[in-house]
A and B are shown apart, each in its own frame.
Chain A
Amino acid sequence: MIDPLTSLDAARFGVYVHFPYCLSKCPYCDFASIVARQIPEARYAEAIARELELRIAAVPSLAGRAVESVYFGGGTPSLWDPTHVRRVLDLLRARLWIVPDAEVTLEANPGAADAERFAGYRAAGINRLSIGVQSFQPATLAFLGRSHDGAMAERAYAAARAAGFDNVSLDFIYGVPGQTLDQVREDAVRATGLGADHLSAYALTLDRESLAEEVPLARRLARGEVTLPPDEEVLQMQRTVRDVYRAAGLLRYEISNYARPGRHSRHNAAYWTGGEYLALGTGATGFILEPEGTGGVRYANHRSAERYLVQVEQDSLPVASVETLTARELFSERVAMGLRLSTGIDLQATCRAFGEDYAPRAKVVEALVTGGLAVQDGPRLLLTDRGADVHSAISARLM
């Protein structure tokens, strides 16, 4: 559905399923993940099923709700056998209502990918794959602790296509210590050469405040063992990525995301447009609006897989924290997230919707437009590339 404040086609209600298990831990990753020799695939699927029942019991209005997107993230969900993925999707279909054209994504690791497995996911109802390529360069992959190589990533992509996926996304990281601008360009050229529908390119983030948990690379950075490329260079990398992707027809629609027209992620768009999402699994974060009123509730599950499993198996919600959000906070999120989008956000309408005063913000908007950091596109304010480079500073002034 189109979100009126940003004009972006975004899921209004999605389901996020987290699969925390990995074959190895990447030194930059702050998602809830655990390396397991023996992955309890069936036990974990059973736990997801139980959590779904517990969630519905707690919020009965969830039953039968229209789900516009489902996202299997991790961890490495492509380590989960398609039969378990199918089981989870079947349950979601039975207890909620997955609409016919719903976007159903699964994150896949190039290392654990073959056409047969992908076909299994496809048959289970997955219609979009997001492959964590990160880079094609051996040095960059080694630094990031990734065990695959460029050729494996390309084979994974080919396998996805062979399995019949017509919506494939690839993830990349730039701004990696030691990485050159040319290497970033090569990665971008090779990515677009494959013909992906959607590309994500993230600047490597290691500052502690931005991360959900401390990661080994951040510790190495703090000890001075590694240094990130200077800001100016990281920005050049971003510009290069943008130019190469654009030339291949993938347009920047969010600060770190690019897609062919109509191929942007509607699930992720829910996060950027104040949409609701039910979250299931270890460390997963969900957000449900208050049925009445202007606030909402965001909850996060236990980040430890074992603790999560035990909790659910005892029929209690595996919640680690619950945050009640005020209209004010939701407004702040709406503005900050909306400004990440190339469609921008109708700031005046957003102020009206959340009971905020636009007048004091008008002066900031004027200065941004005069200074070339934003443009007004009809009712929507959107950041220019230069504005996007300082998105945080701008958001902090408009929130």
Chain B
Amino acid sequence: MAAENSHIRNFSIIAHIDHGKSTLADRLLEFTGTVSAREAQDQFLDNMELERERGITIKAQSVRMNYKAKDGKNYVLNLIDTPGHVDFAYEVSRSLAACEGALLVVDATQGVEAQTLANVYMAIDHNLEIIPVINKIDLPSANPDGVRAEIEDVIGIDASGAVPASAKEGIGIEDILEAVVQRIPPPKGDPTAPLEALVFDSWYDNYRGVVMLVRVLQGTLSLKQKIMLFSNKKKFEVQELGVFSPKARPVPQLIAGEVGVLIANVKELADAKVGDTVTEELRPTATPFPGFKEVKPMVFSGVFPIDSADYEDLRDALHKLNLNDSAFTFEPETSTALGFGFRCGYLGLLHMEIVQERLEREYGLSLITTAPSVVYRVFDNAGNVIVVDNPAKLPPTQNIEHMEEPFLTCHIHVPNDHLGAILKLCQDRRGVQKDIRYLGTSGKRVQVTYDLPLAEVVFDFFDKLKSVSRGYASMDYELAGFVPSDLVKLDILINGDVVDALSVIVHRDRAYQRGREICAKLKEVIPRQMFEVAIQAAIGSRVISRETVSAMRKNVLAKCYGGDISRKRKLLEKQKEGKKRMKQVGVVEIPQEAFLAVLKSEE
């Protein structure tokens, strides 16, 4: 019997950033007539403005394509996009769980990268059929045979059927579609069984409320159906069902194997968590789809309005943004230097940048973000464990018995030529080597595994990783747990006053170096003021480093007569506007970027 869903293929694309995932997706949409070439703005799937600018996928999307294969049959192909950054590894795993297969796109000039590897292993864990696609074969430096061998060697999957392609030039697109139809199995699942659907993405729509992207695993989702979310047992009624092709189009039902949009009058995004299982209220499945977890922020920073009058606006904006991105957290924070603001938690550094950019861009706010901090466990003399995500909140040194900091297990993938530099970098960042092994048999590629303090990774590690390996190293990580560590609080004083928002927690061995670096960086970013500015780094009352920004000497317009006044007023107004981007701390005007200066080292 040909099952009702035998013509469906659910797949995603796994690729390293820049290896051409978005371009390939565009070509598939064009080839299947889902969008015309003219319609296809570059990179159709990335529809947030920010995504397009940064060339990364933040929220997963799915698109339904109709394809008449060479066997004469019509197929429905659901392309499920996955976020392409380690900050969103959990979302990637949920997207992959909604698929039966994946295209593994590897750049014919670059080979396999660590992030690709991590996602590919994840796909293998989900028993997906993996179709290697060797992209960019049109480039002169393409080495498809080498890359094919590398895929077999490094990943350990059969790459003899790898499809050579060039998404940019439209080469191999039909071969890819044929491979999807022939090699990826149709979804299993019985449309008559009790409903089991996986939420693999959700977002907030101003008009419709919470929108969930679901993969129906068992049973059928239909309009008016009473459903229940497994994690919180909350019940809703199905109001709308739809598919993207690529614009949203309503459908009466989604049967087992299908992917689509579910709208059920859910008001809070927090009620529709990614990874949760949707089931029927009256006929629930016995167990939810495995693997659900609550994502927890790993990195925290203060977010303050530059103009304190914008505090309420910031709060409203955070509430609204949280409807769209429930992965970040926020709670009120008060800083002596910066006034009222919020302590926000993020999945990682990129997530932090995205949240800040969206707040500024979508809500028109001017913000100061303080340097990110990880969560520390502080054990005090009274035997309490205090969780500290803000250096300013660290208890006095004499009350601390010891502290623990989070460590990551990092898998770094690097060509042999750059191994030395990577080992040195990891060593410098207090890394503990766990494993080192050559990938495949060529002896050219190495995977090193280090346990590294999260705080050191947060501190410009990715930039350094790229620069010491000339861009060839890539990395994937997972949380390894908390480890006791000799940590101290490093305070920064401006004209003698501690600026709490600039304090950082650092390892004692690194305190002097970091103190010097931060002072030097601040000297660089704090513009000359009307008065001299002293910048000091201190541990407790001990000053360990000092820099001085000397006062500005000449800033005056020589002539001001009738014909000059308007022009010169405008010059001064511009200068005044520039001030608005700065935070007044005492008599010192500190630019936004100074608060992130501690992130950049001078090595």
Q: Does A231 contact B (CB under 8 A)?
A: yes
Contact check, B573 vs A283: say whether CB atoms are below 8 A apart: no
Interface hits, A244-270 → B, CB 8 Å:
255-256, 268
Q: Which residue of A lies closest to B565 (CB)?
A: A333
**Number of A interface residues, CB 8 Å?**
50
Provided the pairs A396-B579, A399-B576 are in contact, do residues A202 and B556 lie with their beta carbons within 8 angstroms?
A: no
Q: Does A393 contact B (CB under 8 A)?
A: yes
Contact check, A210 vs B557: say whether CB atoms are below 8 A apart: yes
Of A209, A271, A373, A394, which one neighbours B571 at CB under 8 angstroms? A209
Contact check, B576 vs A390: say whether CB atoms are below 8 A apart: no
Provided the pairs A336-B572, A373-B530 are in contact, do residues A389 and B565 lie with their beta carbons within 8 angstroms?
A: no
Q: How far is the CA of A234 from the CA of B578 in the complex (A)?
A: 26
Q: Does B552 contact A (CB under 8 A)?
A: yes
Q: Which residues of B contact A391 (CB under 8 A)?
A: 555-557
Output the least CB separation between A176 and chain B (Å).
12
Q: Does B567 contact A (CB under 8 A)?
A: yes
Of B530, B556, B572, B576, which one neighbours A255 at CB under 8 angstroms? B556
Of B553, B558, B567, which one neighbours A231 at CB under 8 angstroms? B553
Contact check, B558 vs A337: say whether CB atoms are below 8 A apart: no
Of B566, B571, B572, B573, which one neighbours A298 at CB under 8 angstroms? B566
Q: Which residues of B contact A277 (CB under 8 A)?
A: 562
Q: Which residues of A contact B552 (CB under 8 A)?
A: 390, 393
Q: How far is the CA of A390 from the CA of B557 in the complex (A)?
A: 9
Q: Which residues of A contact B37 (CB under 8 A)?
A: none
Q: Does A124 contact B (CB under 8 A)?
A: no
Output the least CB separation between B591 and chain A (Å).
15
**Number of B interface residues, CB 8 Å?**
28
Interface hits, A369-397 → B, CB 8 Å:
371, 373, 388-397
Q: How far is the CA of A286 from the CA of B567 in the complex (A)?
A: 14
Q: Which residues of A contact B573 (CB under 8 A)?
A: 332, 396, 399
Q: Does B483 contact A (CB under 8 A)?
A: no
Main SS at interface, chain B = loop
Q: How far is the CA of A397 from the CA of B582 in the complex (A)?
A: 12
Contact check, B555 vs A389: say whether CB atoms are below 8 A apart: yes
Q: Does A300 contact B (CB under 8 A)?
A: yes
Q: Which residues of B contact A202 (CB under 8 A)?
A: 558-559
Q: Which residue of A lies closest to B589 (CB)?
A: A397
Q: Which residues of A contact B568 (CB under 8 A)?
A: 210, 336
Contact check, B530 vs A368: say whether CB atoms are below 8 A apart: yes
Summed over the interface, the residue pairs from A and B with CB atoms below 8 Å come to a total of 113
Q: Which residues of B contact A298 (CB under 8 A)?
A: 565-566
Output the least CB separation between A208 and chain B (Å).
11
Q: How far is the CA of A368 from the CA of B587 in the complex (A)?
A: 10
Output the least CB separation between A210 and chain B (Å).
6
Q: Which residues of B contact A393 (CB under 8 A)?
A: 530, 552, 555, 575
Task: Fill in one digit per residue for B405-441: 1 if any A CB lies within 8 Å of its CB, else 0.
Answer: 0000000000000000000000000000000000000
Q: How far is the CA of A249 from the CA of B579 in the complex (A)?
A: 39
Output the least CB separation between A13 and chain B (Å).
12
Q: Does B569 contact A (CB under 8 A)?
A: yes
Output the least CB separation between A2 and chain B (Å).
20
Contact check, B561 vs A397: say whether CB atoms are below 8 A apart: no
Q: How far is the CA of A337 from the CA of B569 in the complex (A)?
A: 9
Q: How far is the CA of A271 from the CA of B559 in the complex (A)?
A: 11
Q: How far is the CA of A16 from the CA of B576 in the complex (A)?
A: 30
Task: Fill in one digit per residue for A284-317: 1 if any B CB lies within 8 Å of its CB, else 0.
Answer: 1111000000000010100000000000000000
Contact check, A332 vs B572: say whether CB atoms are below 8 A apart: yes
Provided the pairs A368-B530, A390-B530, A393-B575 are in contact, do residues A232 and B553 lie with their beta carbons within 8 angstroms?
A: yes
Contacts from B to A (Cβ < 8 Å): 530-531, 552-569, 571-573, 575-576, 578-579, 587
Contacts from A to B (Cβ < 8 Å): 16, 31, 202-205, 209-210, 212, 231-232, 234-235, 255-256, 268, 271-272, 277, 279, 283-287, 298, 300, 323, 325, 329, 332-333, 336-337, 340, 367-368, 371, 373, 388-397, 399
Known contacts A390-B554, A396-B578; can you find 8 more A-B pairs with CB under 8 A?
A205-B559, A285-B562, A300-B563, A332-B569, A367-B531, A390-B530, A392-B555, A397-B579
